[in-house]
Every structure is written in C-alpha cells, then in structure tokens.
C-alpha cells in the first residue's frame, strides 16, 4: 500500500533531509543534491527553491519566488516540487508550531553530578 500524500500547509518549514547536501557540480555546471546513494540534478528554479529552505515557511518561499520572478500562482508547483523531493528523502518538513516547541539552542546548560556527588557543569 502506498504512503498517503504529504499535504504542505503554508506554515510548513522545508529543509534538506538528513545526510543530504546541496553542492555545485562543476562538470554538470548545475547544482545537485547529494544523498546517500543518490544524486539529484537541479534546474535553476529548483536551486532557487532549495536555497530559500533556510527556515522560511512554504508561504514565505512562494512569496519570495513570486516577487523574484514577477509572477503569481506558483504555490502548487513549489509544493509539488518539495513533495517529490520528500518522497526521495531529499527534503523533510517541520511546522512553525513544532519549531516553536522544540528546545532552544540558548537554553541553560544542564548540570551533571561530579565524581564527588556535587553538581557541576
């Protein structure tokens, strides 16, 4: 049975999958996604979309692309592109609410007991 299709809301935050890197391939003169046992060659628009996956939501990415390309109505195409990459484990998704509830990098450090039984850092 096939997995249910992913529905991307405007507050979905796309990011590269685990162990996936975007690099410029000089021999192809194109950007590529490098993953475990896979290479995905990107066109210019695909590169632009993934460069905007820097913590922005899908709505923010769509708005920026529409501004940059002076067009409108590209949301469905952006969602289809990201969903296709997610099916290949090249992209994963968070939501703004998940990001807000995750522990902050600036949280106070935890202390650990020292060998003498006192707490230390």
Residue 94 lies in a domain: yes
Of the listed ranges 8-17, 24-33, 92-101, the least confidently predicted one is 92-101
pLDDT of residue 107 exceeding 60, the answer is: no
Across residues 58-72, what is the average pLDDT? 98
pLDDT of residue 1 exceeding 90, the answer is: no
Q: Which domain holds residue 27?
A: 12-101
CA distance 9 to 61: 12
Q: What is the pTM of this model?
A: 0.75
Residue 54 lies in a domain: yes
Pairwise pLDDT comparison (83 vs 103), residue with the higher score: 83
**Domains: count for the chain:** 1
CATH number, domain at 43? Answer: 1.10.10.1150
Alpha-carbon separation of residue 68 from 6, 27, 75, 80, 111 (angstroms): 27, 28, 14, 19, 48
Per-residue buried b or exposed e for 9-21, using 16+ beta carbons within 10 Å of the residue's own CB: eeebbbebbeebe
Across residues 61-72, what is the average pLDDT? 98
């Amino acid at each position: 049975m096939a997995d249910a299709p992913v529905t991307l809301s405007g507050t979905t935050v796309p990011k590269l999958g685990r162990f996936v890197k975007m690099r410029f391939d000089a021999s192809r003169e194109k950007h590529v996604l490098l993953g475990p046992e896979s290479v995905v060659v990107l066109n210019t628009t695909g590169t632009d979309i993934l460069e905007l996956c820097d913590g922005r939501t899908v709505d923010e990415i769509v708005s920026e692309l529409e501004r940059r390309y002076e067009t409108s109505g590209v949301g469905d195409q952006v969602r289809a592109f990201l969903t296709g990459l997610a099916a290949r484990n090249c992209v994963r998704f968070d939501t703004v609410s998940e990001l807000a509830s995750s522990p902050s990098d600036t949280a106070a450090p935890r202390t650990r007991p020292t060998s003498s039984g006192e707490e230390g850092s």
